[in-house]
Amino acid sequence: MSYSLLQTPIEYLKGVGPQRGELLRKEIGIHRYEDLLNFYPNRYIDRTRYYKINELNNNPAEVQIIGKIINIKTVEFGKGKKRLAAVFVDDTGQMELTWFQGHKWIRDTLKLNIPYVIFGKVTNFNGQYSMAHPEMELLSEHEKSLRSAMQPVYPSTETLTNRGISNRVITKMMQQVFLETQAQFVETLPSYLMDELKLIPKNAALFNIHFPKSADLLAKAQFRLKFEELFFIQLQLITKNLVRKHKIKGHPFTVVGNHFNDFYQNHLPFPLTNAQKKVLKEIRNDLGSHAQMNRLLQGDVGSGKTIVALMVMLIALDNGFQSCLMAPTEILATQHFNGLTELARELNINIKILTGSTKPNERKIIHEELENGTLHILIGTHALLEDKVQFQNLGLAIIDEQHRFGVEQRSKLWQKGGSAGGTQVPPHILVMTATPIPRTLAMSLYGDLDISVIDELPPGRKPIQTVHRYDSNRLKVWKFIKDEIAKGRQIYIVYPLIQESETMDYKDLMDGYESLSRDFPLPQYSISIVHGKMKPAEKDAEMKRFAEGKTNIMVATTVIEVGVNVPNASVMIIESAERFGLSQLHQLRGRVGRGAEQSYCILMTSFKLSNDSKTRLETMVRTNDGFEIAEVDLKLRGPGDIMGKQQSGVLNLQIADLVKDKDILLLARQKAMELLKRDASMSLPEHQTLRAVFIELTKKKNIWNYIS
């Protein structure tokens, strides 16, 4: 069948028309026939059984019943509210059907004393059965329609339901699309791959996903369509990576010179871990390869990413290039600046920081030194992206926590690269994250980046002990804190921040602060406080007092999550821990355990906990492994939430699920790699259709263009 028929605008489908077409576009993104075909049911109901009214009891599932309407009336209830009520009977009894919206339209369409099949959830009130907003079909139509034992239920919206586009209407449209296209769909996968994986053909898969003939065929259809979706995503990502390595030139950093060697031999604060050595080797291979590096560096809080970053910058410097490091917040940029300045103290290199609060005269010096090449390393926030910031020869850009930056922002950095032989050459890119990304997400979101992982902590670090305590244990917890302070340690106490109610957060924090001040009185104890309502200078002053050991306890909202590094702080208490997400709890815990002493994380909660909260707390107590935590987080929250707002639209998967279909994803990636190894340009005869589909998909503004 020609590809063009599937491109027909949806309003031309029989039974749709301009008004419904507009609704389908706006509400569920269905523009063309093809979109409707790829609009998959999210569950199925067994429609082989018909109930009698006297068999209903309290059946929680949806049921279908054959009967007639014998009476319709409008009933007033509450203040000025009306509902439409109909008496529905079969040969065993009667029940009520009710509608709260669309009265006039529904009243005009209902016929009295004619057999209907109704379908929906039944409730029982005072012995009277009732069904609200039933799906209805004349028995004569019902017997003619393209039906299957497993009835599809499609995702919907309130607007669609209120405007009469029910599940039954969507099912009818689906039947119409199959009639008009005669269910002749182009096979998208090569036959050898289908034979090898025992995949059913595309025609059969699409038919059985919408009108399954049996549970077995439904499972085969789902597997086939999930595999195909993930397979094309992986083809795209791997191709992008290969193209970059072959076509996008990078500055070759062939020298490992004095700066690097001097630091490595004379100034390392502690020996590198094996994981750090492995990662450095991978990065050095990339830098020497004449292609642009694009690498993701994952490592838990405190695993030593900063030292790796500095060493890579020193290689750039040895090859005559400048580097920059971009962080999402001023606190984080300042922390990087302080950390790198400290590490490079003896090296005689020029490092500066540029943020929103850099003074104009300092900016002027930075701009001049960047352009004349005397500034070697620039650290900063979004301020690095301003047009005024021009490098003499930027060879390396490091981006920290990149999921907080949009795509346009990252591409601006690209354009600041130096040139070689008159052509613009993009800088090498190293993306760093302390948010461990589950393997499945990394393969889908960053599948076009090479990935390095630092999976061991520096020696001498003791694992943080985590416990969960209820509010009723507070006195014991306070005694424990006093003992720790007596040993000369410092304590964090963090309160949740909930955007909707800053006043409530502030009150929680201030109440907590006041009761702490009573339990830990001056002059024996001294408390710092940091929250969102303070001016930046006040926050910095309080953080500084704590970092210098002038206060014993830091009470804060989550501003503490990224930022301060106080090796002497050994206890993190998280109040109302059930109100935090897993990755946030893990990040907060990473604020302690930075010195050689045993550190503790205490999760305080009330007794009322949801199942998800219990899972989060149990996971935190059980493991310190960021990757394991990220996997649990992915199961609880799904991929959209984990990636944050900027990237939430990225994985608009139509049928696959990164959590449940992990194995299919691994298989799809493996098969995509094998195919591209054999035929990178997809030009063999058996790959012709595949190549055509691939080119069509690449044109679309779906997932592909959002990635990296």
* SS3 readout for 494-506: ECCCCHHHHHHHH
Quick one: the chain helix, strand, coil %, rounded to 5?
45, 20, 35
Residue 702 has a pLDDT of 46
Per-position DSSP letters for 665-693, written without gaps between them: HHHHHHHHHHHHHH-TT--SGGGHHHHHH
Fold matches, 48-146 and 465-623: no
Residue 649, pLDDT > 50, answer: no
- pLDDT tens sequence across 248-262: 788 899 999 999 999
Q: What is the DSSP letter of 86?
A: E
Residue among 167, 160, 139 nearest 42 (CA)? 167
Least confident range from 65-74, 143-152, 698-707: namely 698-707
Superfamily of domain 258-287+303-433: P-loop containing nucleotide triphosphate hydrolases (3.40.50.300)
Report the half-sphere exposure of 382 (CA within 13 A, side-chain side): 9
Q: Are 564 and 486 in contact (CB under 8 A)?
A: no
Bridge partners of 319, per DSSP, are none
* Domain boundaries, given as residue ranges, for the chain: 48-146, 185-250+631-708, 258-287+303-433, 465-623
Can you say how many angstroms the Cα of residue 542 is from the centroid of all Cα atoms in its chain? 34
Residue with tokens 């900016």: 363
In the numeric block, the tokens 């002038």 are attached to 550
In the predicted structure, residue 700 carries a pLDDT above the cut 70: no
Pick from 184, 422, 446, 437: which is nearest to 294 by CA?
Answer: 446
pLDDT score for 637:
75
Give pLDDT tens digits for 378-413.
Answer: 999 989 999 899 999 999 999 987 666 665 676 777
The two structure tokens encoding residue 422: 């008159």
Q: What pLDDT digit, counting tens, does each position of 458-475 carry?
A: 777 788 999 999 999 999
Distance CA 377, CA 390 (A): 13
pLDDT band (50, 70, 90) for residue 201: very high
Listed in sequence order, the residues at least 6 apart from 625 whose beta carbon sits closer than 8 Å to its beta carbon are: none
Report angle CA 94, 98, 102 to the nearest 5 degrees. 145
Whether the per-residue pLDDT at 478 is higher than 60: the answer is yes
CA distance 378 to 200: 55
Lowest-pLDDT range of 69-73, 494-498, 518-522: 494-498
Beta strands in 414-483 (DSSP E): 419-420, 423-424, 428-433, 450-454, 465-470
Contact criterion met (CB below 8 Å) for 574 and 604: yes
Beta strands 322-326; 377-380: pairing state: parallel
Q: Tell me how many degrees the CA angle 252-257-260 measures, rounded to the nearest 5.
A: 100
d(CA 580, CA 636): 13
Query: What is each CA distance from 449 to 4, 276, 290, 441, 452, in whole angstroms?
Result: 35, 19, 16, 12, 10
Phi then psi for residue 613, to 5 deg, are -60, -45
What integer pLDDT is reported at residue 266 of this predicted model? 94
User: What's the rounded Cα separation, in Å, for the pair 375 and 367?
Assistant: 9
Tell me the CATH architecture of domain 48-146: Beta Barrel (2.40)
Cβ 377 vs Cβ 313: under 8 Å: yes
Quote the DSSP letter at residue 418: -
Going by C-beta distance under 8 Å and a sequence separation of 6 or more, which residues neighbour residue 457?
273, 300, 302, 303, 304
Is residue 645 pLDDT above 60, yes or no? no
pLDDT for residue 640 is more than 70? no
Query: Mean pLDDT for the chain?
Result: 86
DSSP string, 339-371: HHHHHTTTS---EEEE-TT--HHHHHHHHHHHH
- Residue 128: pLDDT over 80: yes
Q: Selecting from 3.40.220.10, 3.90.79.10, 3.90.950.10, 3.40.50.300, what CATH number does the domain 465-623 have? A: 3.40.50.300
